[in-house]
Structure 1
Amino acid sequence: MKNYLFAIILIIGLNAVKAQNTTYINPALLKGEWPANWITCPGVPQRDYGVYHFRKVFSLDEKPAKFIIHVSADNRYRLFVNGHPVCSGPARGDLYNWYFETVDIAQFLQPGNNIVAALVWNMGVYAPVAQISNQTAFVLQGDGDKEEMINTNSNWKVVKDNSYTPCATDNGERLHTYMVIGPGDQVNAATYPWGWEQLNFDDKQWLPAKQVANPAVAGYGTDNRWTLVPRNIPLMEETMQRISKVRRASGIEVSNDFLSGSHPLTIPANTTVSILLDQTFNTVAYPELLVSMGKEATIKMTYAEALFDKQNQKGNRDDIEGKHILGNYDIFEPDGGNKRLFRPLWFRTWRYMQLDITTKDEPLVIEDLYGMHTGYPFKAVATFAGNDSSLQDIWKVGWRTALLCAGETYFDCPYYEQLQYEGDTRIQSLISLYVTGDDRLMRKALLDFYHSRVPEGLTQGRYPSNRLQVIPPFSLYWISMIYDYWMLRKDDSFLQQFLNPVRGILEWYEKNIDTSKKMLGPMKWWNFTDWNTAFANGVPDGAVDGNSSVITLQYAYTLEQAARFFAAYGKTNEAAHYTMLANELKTNTFRECFDKEKEEMANTPDKKTFSQHAGIMGVLTGAVPANQMKQVMQKVLTDTSLSQATFYYRFYLTRALKKAGMADLYYSQLKPWRDMLKKGLTTFAENPDPTRSDCHAWSSSPNYDFLATICGIMPASPGFSSVIIEPALGELTHVQGSMPHPDGKIIVALQRKGMNGIIAEITLPAKLTGKFVWNGKEVKLKSGKQSIVL
């Protein structure tokens, strides 16, 4: 919360510091303990909810050319230098891998006195499930001798901010769903220390900070509360985003003008009003509300992805008639001051925002209201277009979905959980690499799950997380993520650290094989596969009591990937064992579960239930013989008695279509995404309606498959050292696509020639070769631009 001028500085400052962000770290700080101290506020419960302000005034003879610092906190911080916002963090990890940010703050410094200040908060028992914590603390370490003057110690000052109270702590109960993103903020402006981050603020009443411990980096220390590691992803971006429309108002007439920032809106004294705003698309942002006057007024800001009707159904997301808002909220209580800026501690997700305002004896002036869009700074460089222009809508909405589900980790959904799950993250990572070429968040995700392992050898199903959840099939998807990364990037030193944990997961599964059936037997933990309506809590038949064809074949699928991965690093004996075991599982599962009369795979050997999932995995693994794949996949697509795959598992449906030589059907399988667009969704949902989340990353798979399936661009060998381009146009007559490659860009332009022919123009980066495949014919590809007519 700052004045209006600071709101403008915010936009400039955060963008400016991105250019200054540096990965340079004094090597001496990567060994042993730091000279700085972890500091905290004295006299407060260290693990309870609390918001704190830290300050340090220091003097410089001249403006430095560079001034590098390293900073972190528990739970989180927002750093200011001379009133300018510099960075936020830390990137979420765990106590063994507690990240610190490295930034050069020289651009914000001046000769003479300077102020470095930090807003630090601990959500305590209200913390998001994605937030791991020890206790309230803050640390700042200068990189070298000239910067050490601002190292955190007892010379820093601190105050507890009593203006904050957690609200919206019952989101899950009110929405009747699983919601674990943390509380809203209720802020009483009368007790907020306005101007605390400015140099001229009077901090005489503040306390000396309490020293907690010396910071230790990974591999050092004897009594660590946190083990520090360098941040391995860029800082999150922030850009101003105006709200588009006033959809309705009661108690006052409101036009769209006040949303422009140049037409303040006055709410008379002793008035109650409600204003529904429509961003027109789902977003993730920090709302910033600038107000004047309005002493003792109350402003409640409620955020929702969609409105609800009287039956609590969403219906068409564009419609508001007869609908109400229900969701996460913040409350701001103005003190009558001039241009007070409210910004919540954490970002919010919304398409709709409702302001419910009650004024007392003084009118309230809303000077401005906007969002600061935030997230991982992915930049789309891939392109896709075709003769069906509606595919552009799917591409655009899919990419927005992927962006909103990418922050300091990948999110399954930004509104309800903000948790990183392997099942979601595998798909998200492929989208990231195909659309942006930026692999840093995928690398962090692979490491996060590596750090999550439990004593049995499995990864946790989601991580970082302060609650234990083990989903054994998601451990398999983590191995698939490693395989994907291996195929798309040459990064041997990074990849080889995963050989042992991969081995441990596969051994856990091997110990669970039912030797009589030669399929997986009963398994512990939560064997989630898909949220389809026939699977109890997402778990297919046979997972709990034994002999699930779906999970047995997923294990076989993963064994084959692991065999190729292990063989590449000289582990030939293990690779041979994994191949042998995969073949045995596939053979026996097909024998036990394939119904010859139905030409369908059953969920278990008793053949009482059948699903698309069983058929998909049967084909994808090759358990179904090649000469039967097309018949089986035809049944998968047409037999509505099969329990159906949701948006998530349709990613694997597409993989199975490609395996069966039926990839041309992919284009016709886009109806679920077209239906979501018809319902006014601006991001893709978790499930078909009625759905919880309107923004769920696993439903963005078209942004991968438009390039990997329709354009047919796939790595043909590890490290993307060669490429195979095998288009599947379906009913399309022409498409164009491009995607990043480690050596440059792959560009394809495809035009049908008659019923069965094709004209292709393909450009490959220098040194990249491969092959083009069309209707069983192969043409070698070389680097550079080439034309093919078949």
Structure 2
Amino acid sequence: MSIIEKITPWKANWIWGGSEESPRNEWRWFRTSFVCPQDLGQLEKAILWITADSRYEAYVNGKRVGRGPVRYFPTDIRYDAHEVGHLLRRGEINMIAVQVMHFGISNFQYLRERGGLLAQLDAFVGDNEVTLVQTGADWRTIVHAGQDPAISRMSCQTAFAERIDGRKLAEDWTSTAYSDAGWQQALVIGPVGMEPWVRLVPRDIPYLTEEPVLPTRVISVNRVVPYQLTGFIDAYHLMKAPGEENANHIRFCGAFATILRLREEAEVKVMFHVGGLGIVRLGERLYMEAELEVEPPLTHIRATLPAGDHLLLYTVNGPEHGHSNRVGIDADTEIAWISPLVSEGNGERMSPFVCIGPSFTYSCIDYTDQDELLASWEVEKVRFADRIAPLASVEDLQASGYLVAPIPHSLANGEDAFMPQFAKRESEAFSVPSSLQRIAVASTDPGVVPVFENGDTEFILDFGKEWSGFLEFELEAEAGITIDWYGIEYRKDAYVQHTFGLDNTLRYVTREGNQRYASPIRRGFRYVIVTVRGAKKPVLIRDVRVVQSNYPAPEIGAFRSSDYKLNQIWDISKHTTKLCMEDTFVDCPAYEQAFWVGDSRNEALVNYYTFGGTEIVERCLRLVPGSEFQTPLYGDQVPSAWTSVIPNWTFFWIVACREYAEHTGNRAFAADMLPKMLLTLEAYLECVNADDLLDMKGWNLLDWAPMDQPNDGIVTHQNVMLVKALEETAAMAAFAGLPEQGTVCAEFAVRVKAAINRHLWSEERGAYLDCIHPGGRRSTIFSMQTQVMALLVGVTEGERAARLNAYLTATPDGFVPIGSPFMSFFYYETLMKSGNVQWMLDDMRENFGFMLDNEATTCWEMYGHTTMNRANENDLTRSHCHAWSAAPGYFLGAYVLGVRPAAPGWAKVIIEPMIGDLSWASGTVPLPQGGSIDVAWKAEKGEIASLVITAPASVELDIRVPAACSVAVSRVRELPAV
């Protein structure tokens, strides 16, 4: 790993290919060859400088040298520096090949601009720098022929699922032996500094790991028969205006239709996975919303229809954020779907669907006043449904007055690999043959996939625990076999928790013979469901692996104790955090892979104690102000094209900035970030009312719980966090040596704190109410979340504080309880202020222990026993790997081991174990300057009896144990910095 800045001027130009600036889901190949001079002398290094919009994979002489770039705001695109000198062949032809994956849509990680590649290879010989290669018109390019761009979105947060035709895939395209004679000349689109990439910024984080992980076993084999027809429709794209430049959710009123053609009379079954589904027409029958058979998130209808053509029509209203509509259709006879309109769309391949409308649409901005638009949408939903309901034929549609347009194949088709995973007409279980189980062992013999005459073969691979990375496989097959790879996080017995909201599939069509494929799309999963469709003879699978990829933090942190369950809880907390450390912290490796700002504050603390990473924390903190062009309140996830604000997430960012500055002792960082903190606080203080309370529209979230936290009004926990943000900013100013810049913040914190106690305390309930609604209506809801935050921040004192402290272990009747592991982080922080470690340990054992009891290998987003879907006892949580839930990874080290910083940069460290009911504990805590502190203690009769510490000689120790405790301290010398 090296973070290298290019000092000398760029000679390369930005290049692209084709006629579209920003094609939808286009993978494009680029190549150039060059002769590496024989007389280069003593070659010290050769660096390939490279970046691309949206993502790239780079190869030198057939060897993949890197992926990138890290996520970025377009004006400040990041570039990478790959050392490739060891791969160059002196005096021979060398090849640089790059695969660029351009999204063509905005999401929660990327703001859409245009496609582009920039690369330059420089050789360093002594003091001389020689440019060997630079992107320009001499490069050649072609669209990846084997990648199908007409595939559904993975999720609204990410880009696209994957469909690869191995028959069109040239495995050797990165080598010098491959001929690119049929490729096009690359198009030079501009020099370095062109818009939108006006600034090139060096990568600010180490390159991610690549660690092969093999499956541990094959769990099951099933013969399956999917519905005859399955497909997706990109309703978001079709109903949205103005286009793909943002990722804001929309509300709309529209409809979709197709014609079902039956050879003979039969019962027809239709399955919908559609958000905002309204009325449905199937032939002569109109189904109102109340008549639909709903099994969330699926909806079913069925009807017996005569031979012939029948209209299938449904309305859809949103809100929609970028997930696809999905429809599955089946019958006991042959059935087909065709477009209601005979149109080829100017030569473009068309789908069997048409789009009606929209009759109304608007893009939602969370923190703006859109009440009038929302009201109009509610009215139009009813009006639109009333006008659509009587339409019973194609002629009726055409005469309706609404725009009725064919949908291109690229936006709706039957190549969907996700819907067939649950739209099945038959599924029959078989025992797993030993010949298939060979997939999960390091055997030279391949795994043999059995063949069924009247169905497809489905089997499930277990990778032992959750992983996050890139799927690779090698297999041997006849040509034209479809193999679907589908990652899931949870299953139990015959139950499979499908990733609704995430198309976590890869569809691969085989060519003849042996073949290997390595996906460039990141996925998170524990299990992979593999379905071999249409095989006449067994497919031989020689290798399956996930290349685990995460921030390269060494696993320094450790924790063990006399309680095996706590040890397991710490382990899954650490593994969860690892999987959620990519080029930023992410909320989860499966569904979203998004950098949620508020989540990352807690994730940073867990990371400090498990891995000790610092570059990832600083990178995340510095990214946040980049959203200022969208809102001075700063985005709640960045870099993102969804303009969304959670005020608490910005306040947590301020807290995390101060914590990082003190954790590392970096006063320069503090001085640099202070103006950015002050800028957003100035915007928030404009929302403070005459009573000195924050009174604003926004996504006023703290916890997934039925507390009263409306998106408009005075929310108590939000005002409490404003006090904290103001205090932390004043502390940051003092730390940066600029105390006068924090004076206003300190003074305003006092005012808001007083206002909270004056206006938001209920003497009757002895607690802070959740909120005051617009117009002055005081909430009747009281929550533990609000009381916890008031105690944690210290806005309450004296008798009130004593009363709230009592609630921490005896929740009053009617108070909303803690609703998520995320909120438990703040709950544990509050418990530790009073030293109540036993209550914290018991809470961990109960809540995280429930996860372990259900075979969790990572921490869930929610507590399954309190939030489970009561309609399905197996549906315990959406995300089974969520680092906002990894609190034990921090608290067991900070309080049970008792290792906490007492001075900036950990120059001084407190050692103060809290033993609870444990008889011993030991572990390691990383230090930000390198090295670590090892602690091991034993307890007797409820008191700590012995303590052994190993620490660097430069770290001052403040050991706080009873006088009778035996203490042994070992000091280690530190190596000089390299």
TM-score (normalised: structure 2): 0.71
Judged with a 3 Å threshold, the aligned counterparts in structure 2 of structure 1 residues 683 and 322 are, in CA distance, closer, same or farther, namely closer
- Pair 1:726–1:588, CA change in 2 (3 A): farther
The residue identity in structure 2 corresponding to 1:334 is T
Q: 1:503-548: per-residue Cα shift (whole Å, max 9, x none)?
A: 12222232222323x332x21221221111334xxxx25x6222x2
* Separation of aligned partners in 1, 2:495 and 2:582: 35
Answer yes or no: is 1:37 the counterpart of 2:13. yes
Instruction: Give a deviation string over 1:655-709, Cα, whole Å, max 9, x none.
Output: 1112234344321221211111111121111112332111111001111111112
Q: Percent identity?
A: 22
Question: How far 1:323 moved relative to its partner?
Answer: 4.0
Structure-to-structure mapping, 1:28-177, within 5 angstroms: 28-29=8-9, 34-62=10-38, 64-111=43-90, 112-125=92-105, 128-143=107-122, 147-166=130-149, 169=152
Shift of 1:767: 2.6
2:478 to 286, 294, 319: 294
Are 2:51 and 2:68, in contact at CA under 8 Å, matched by a contact in 1? yes
User: Do 2:647 and 2:718's aligned partners in 1 also have CA atoms closer than 8 Å?
Assistant: no
Match of 2:703 among 501, 505, 530: 530
Contact 2:484–2:507, Cα closer than 8 Å, also in 1: yes
Q: Give the equivalent residue in structure 2 for 1:273.
A: 457
Would you say 1:701 and 2:680 are equivalent positions?
no
Report Cα offsets for 1:228-255 as digits up to 9, x if no partner: 1000111111111111111111348543
**Distance change (3 Å), C-alpha of 1:544 and 1:281:** same
Q: 1:170 to 1:768 in 2, by over 3 A?
A: closer
Cα displacement (A) at 1:758: 4.4
Question: What SS does the aligned partner of 1:341 have?
Answer: strand
- Once the 2 structures are TM-superposed, how far is the Cα of residue 633 of structure 1 from its aligned partner? 2.4
SS in 2 for 1:149: strand
For the 8 Å contact 1:82–1:197, the answer to whether it is kept is yes
Matching residue of 1:181: 158
Equivalent residue number for residue 7 of structure 1: none
Q: Which runs of 5+ in 1 are unaligned?
A: 1-20, 173-178, 308-318, 786-790
User: For the residues of structure 2 that align with 1:604 and 1:468, how far apart are their CA atoms?
Assistant: 25
**1:503 aligned onto 2:686:** no
1:185–1:591 CA distance, 2 compared to 1 (3 A): same
The code of the aligned residue for 2:879 comes to S
Moved more, 466-475 or 594-603: 594-603
Deviation at 1:775, TM superposition (A): 7.6
Q: Distance in 1 between matches of 2:961 and 2:712?
A: 44
Query: Residues 670 and 735 of structure 2 are in contact (CA less than 8 Å); yes or no, is this contact kept in structure 1?
Result: no
**Residue 257 of structure 1 corresponds to which residue in structure 2?**
438
Alignment partner of 1:641 is 2:809: no
Deviations 1:573-625 (CA, angstroms, capped at 9, x unpaired):
34343333323322332343334454433223746211111111221122222
Judging changes above 3 Å, is the alpha-carbon distance between structure 1 residues 471 and 615 closer, same or farther for their aligned structure 2 residues?
Answer: same
Paired with 2:800 and 2:963, the residues of 1 have a C-alpha distance of 19
> Alpha carbons of 1:630 and 1:76: their partners in 2 closer, same or farther (altered >3 Å)?
same
SS in 2 for 1:236: coil
How does 1:443-458 map onto structure 2 within 5 Å?
443-454=618-629, 457-458=632-633
Distance verdict in 2 for CA 1:779–1:515, change over 3 Å: farther
| Range with bigger deviation, 620-629 or 562-571 | 620-629
Q: Which moved more, 1:407-416 or 1:250-259?
A: 250-259
- Structure 2 SS opposite 1:618: helix
What is the deviation of 1:485?
Answer: 0.5
Per-residue CA deviations over 1:21-80 (Å, capped at 9, x if unaligned) read: 443444223xxxx21111111334533321111111111244844211201111111111
Matches within 5 A, 1:611-622: 611-622=783-794
Q: Which residue, 496, 504, 514 being the options, matches 1:328?
A: 504
Name the residue aligned to 1:304: 488
Indicate if the aligned counterparts of 1:287 and 1:371 stay in contact, CA closer than 8 A.
yes
Query: Which of these residues, 742, 763, 784, is aligned with residue 950 of structure 2?
Result: 763
Which residue identity is paired with 1:290?
E
Aligned match for 1:199, one of 171, 176, 187: 176
Report the AA paired with residue 200 of structure 1: A
Question: Whose strand proportion is higher, 1 or 2?
Answer: 2
- 1:751 equivalent among 924, 938, 948: 938
Which whole-Å CA distance do the structure 2 matches of 1:348 and 1:150 have between them?
33
Is contact 1:68-1:147 (8 Å) kept?
no
**1: distance between equivalents of 2:769 and 2:959?**
36
- Are 1:743 and 1:766, in contact at CA under 8 Å, matched by a contact in 2? no
Give distance in 1, aligned partners of 2:964 and 2:796: 25
Q: Secondary structure at the match of 2:821?
A: coil
How far apart are the structure 2 equivalents of 1:422 and 1:781? 41
> For the Cα contact (< 8 Å) 1:619–1:659, is it kept in 2?
no
Contact 1:771 1:780 in 2 (8 A): no
Matched, 1:738 2:920: no
* Alpha-carbon offset, residue 268 of structure 1: 6.7
Q: Structure 1 counterpart of 2:93, which letter?
A: N
Structure 1: distance between partners of 2:745 and 2:496: 55
Give how far 1:551 is off: 1.1
Take 1:625 and 1:779, find their aligned partners in 2: how far apart are those partners?
Answer: 38
Using the size of structure 1 for normalisation, the TM-score is 0.87
Query: How much does 1:82 deviate?
Result: 1.0
Distance 2:943 2:171 in 1: 71
Residue number among 594, 598, 603 corresponding to 1:428 in the alignment: 603
How many angstroms apart in 1 are the aligned matches of 2:858 and 2:465?
A: 8
Give the 3-state SS of the residue equivalent to 1:276 in structure 2.
Answer: strand
Q: 1:228, 1:265 → 2: CA distance?
A: 47
SS at match of 2:132: helix
Residue 830 (structure 2) aligns with = 656
Q: Which residue of 2 aligns with 1:608?
A: 780
Could you tell me how far apart the structure 1 residues matched to 2:218 and 2:150 are?
Answer: 25
8 Å CA contact 2:25–2:103 kept in 1: the answer is yes
Q: Judging changes above 3 Å, is the alpha-carbon distance between structure 1 residues 679 and 743 closer, same or farther for their aligned structure 2 residues?
A: closer
Deviation at 1:716, TM superposition (A): 1.8
> May I ask how many residue pairs the two structures share in their alignment?
729
Q: Over alpha carbons, which structure has the higher Rg?
A: 2
Instruction: Measure the CA separation in 1 of the matches of 2:940 and 2:448.
Output: 64
Does the Cα contact within 8 Å between 1:53 and 1:119 map onto a contact in 2? yes
What is the SS of the residue equivalent to 2:59?
Answer: strand
Is the contact between residue 451 and residue 536 of structure 2 (CA under 8 Å) also seen in structure 1?
yes
Give the Cα separation in 1 of the matches to 2:505 and 2:446: 23
CA distance in structure 1 between the aligned counterparts of 2:165 and 2:613, rounded to whole angstroms = 42
Q: Tell me: CA distance 1:287–1:181, structure 2 relative to 1, closer, same or farther (3 Å).
A: same
* Of 724-733 and 773-782, the range deviating more from structure 2: 773-782
Given that 1:422 and 1:461 are in contact with CA atoms closer than 8 Å, whether structure 2 keeps it comes out as yes
1:95-136 CA distances to partner (integer Å, 9 max, x unpaired)? Answer: 1221111011011121211111111111223x6431233211
Q: CA deviation at 1:630?
A: 4.6
Query: Structure 1 residue aligned with 2:547, among 372, 389, 398?
Result: 372
Matched, 1:714 2:900: yes
Please give the residue correspondences for 1:542-581 in structure 2 after superposition, counting only pairs within 5 Å: 544-546=712-714, 548-581=715-748
Amino acid at match of 1:299: I
